[in-house]
Amino acid sequence: MKQTRLTTTFRLLRDAGACCSRYRHLRESLPGVGDDEPINLLTILEHNGAKDAIWAIRATKENYRKVARLMAADFAELLLPKWIARYPDNDAPQRAIKAARDLANRLITITEARKAAAAANAAADAANAAAYPADAVYAIYPADAAYPAAAANAAAYAADTAYPAVYPAYAIYANAAAYAAADNAAAYAAAADAAAYAADADASIERIVRSYLQP
């Protein structure tokens, strides 16, 4: 996809309910910018990081829906290897990711996207039930058990037709990556390995965000 220039303003960020502390940090980083002056999302990425830049997509002056849906599909796809390794015969998340991209490019109908999202949600529910049995009194489940369900959930969000859920899809990936890093540290007592894992996840997130945004 061709990169898109997305901008917001301090007024739009406030109206959208931006986090007070992160809003204040951005304001202090851009002291000469007025309430209604455009702020490129790449500027937010530079000063506040990927999480805030992704959140700000909802408050852009331009139409963000195509970018948000494609970005959500990319975040979901980062989790697919774990899903495929655990459930090679269930391609519901893959079909939901494809549906998200096809819907963004107007190749399928909303009804078709909804069906794909529902199938991915059902797959996520089944994976969650397998990872966290209802009759378990107490257990510690490794990241590998939670990862597959996260993949299906993120895929369902990407294909969601109510709104392009890029932030939930990002959050699922980021949380799963953080959980995996913590799990690695606990299992191997290797903080450096966990830090490297988290850094790789952060780099993947930033790479995806930059791939869609135009300066």
DSSP letter (8 states) at residue 39? E
Q: Which residues pair with 8 in a beta bridge?
A: 39
How far, in Å, CA of 204 to CA of 189, rounded? 24
- Residue 37 is predicted with a pLDDT of 98
Q: What is the 3-state secondary structure (H, E, C) of 122-133?
A: HHHHHHHHHHCC
* Length of the chain as a residue count: 215
pTM: 0.84
> What is the residue extent of each domain of the chain?
7-59, 65-212
- Residue 132 is predicted with a pLDDT of 62
Number of helices followed by number of strands (H, E) in the chain: 11, 2
| Positions of the chain with pLDDT lower than 70, given as ranges | 131-146, 161-164, 176-199
- Residue 168 is predicted with a pLDDT of 80
- Residue 138 is predicted with a pLDDT of 40
- Residue 146 is predicted with a pLDDT of 62
- Residue 41 is predicted with a pLDDT of 98
- Residue 207 is predicted with a pLDDT of 93
- Residue 153 is predicted with a pLDDT of 85
